[in-house]
Structure 1
């Protein structure tokens, strides 16, 4: 049960946001509804997300794995649900997406670079960040500095999303179910 009402005032901003959300995602996103109680925070957050969506120094698949690893570490069920759907939309293998929370137990599914990226995302997500000089150096050597900066920023952004969604008490909104293969009748 959410800790905050998901029925904010029906302002013009919220009506436009709901229309955009339905058109883009098929439903109105709960985080948007929660943020809707403070239009300034909502607008700032939306602007940040719009700008972050244009970042392109880091491979989209690596970016998605970093986001999912961070969300899994924080245990944000809303973020994991949406992340599964988002990975599916990107064409990522379902088995790979499902195994992100236990990526160390399935090394055969992930490349060495993917494992480094997820390790970094988890280390950065720790309450006291646990990023080592060696891990940062290995990633900079493999990705380059521009992509490393983007990786760091996208993990920080996911920390914001996951921590806010968890604090709001948001849970799965059913995105991952839309990716499942229907049972034969």
Structure 2
């Protein structure tokens, strides 16, 4: 249970009820971070608009590279909600979520491509304290993904650092998006 209780549907404003409806439609359940953030409706709406804009704009990197880097941040920071939700998103993209069990060994594991290893190492360097990104690392990523790709990767990793830290601070834990025999949330693409 989160440190700040969720705003129930009955106690939600009309605008928040709309957000809850959209969340249920898209994810099969209201994501708990939405329901906790509903205590500050203006920030909840600002965050949702931001997230939708980032999703729409993030089309430079291969989806597997982007999603693995984001997942790595969540895993490194111990945000169980982000890990759960990130695995669900990868499953919906048709990615192999079984290999996530090998992510700590990404540098040597045959389950990850060279592009993925580069992005995972960058996510690690950005997430560490202090940040340990090198000029060589950025140059290598730029050769592989271009400048727009480096900016997208950096933005996504930084954004997930914020999400994971916010959820962890508020005690928001996994919601069961990937538990059980199958993903609880319907796959929007129709893939199984």
**TM-score higher than 0.5 here?**
yes
2:93 to 84, 90, 94: 90
In the alignment, what sits opposite 1:127? 129
Question: Closer, same or farther in 2 for the Cα pair 1:124/1:143, shift >3 Å?
Answer: same
Superposition map of 1:4-43 within 5 A: 4-7=4-7, 9-43=11-45
Alignment of 1:84-163 (within 5 A): 84-100=87-103, 102-104=104-106, 107-163=109-165
Q: Please say if residues 85 and 179 of structure 1, whose CA atoms lie closer than 8 Å, have aligned partners that are also in contact.
A: no
Q: Which residue of 1 aligns with 2:47?
A: 45
**Aligned 8 A contact 1:21 1:29 in 2:** yes
2: CA distance between counterparts of 1:137 and 1:166?
32
Tell me which protein shows more helix as a share of its residues.
1
Contact 1:87 1:97 in 2 (8 A): no
**Do the aligned partners of 1:125 and 1:159 also contact (CA within 8 Å) in 2?**
yes
Displacement of 1:123 in angstroms is 0.8
Q: Distance in 1 between matches of 2:167 and 2:70?
A: 14
Deviation string 1:130-183 (CA, Å, 9 cap, x unpaired) is 1111111111111100011000001111111101110110111000115649xx
Residue pair 2:118, 2:141 contacting (<8 A) in 1 also: yes
Please say if residues 85 and 178 of structure 1, whose CA atoms lie closer than 8 Å, have aligned partners that are also in contact: no
Q: Pick from 52, 62, 67 the counterpart of residue 65 of structure 2.
A: 62
Please, what TM-score do these two structures have when normalized by structure 1?
0.92
Number of aligned residue pairs: 180
Whether 1:3 aligns to 2:31 is no
* Structure 1 runs of 4+ with >4 Å offset: none
Question: Over the residues paired in the alignment, what is the CA RMSD in angstroms?
Answer: 1.6
Q: Is the 8 A contact 1:62 1:117 kept in 2?
A: yes
1: CA distance, partners of 2:62 / 2:73: 17
Which runs of no fewer than 5 residues in structure 1 stay unpaired?
A: none
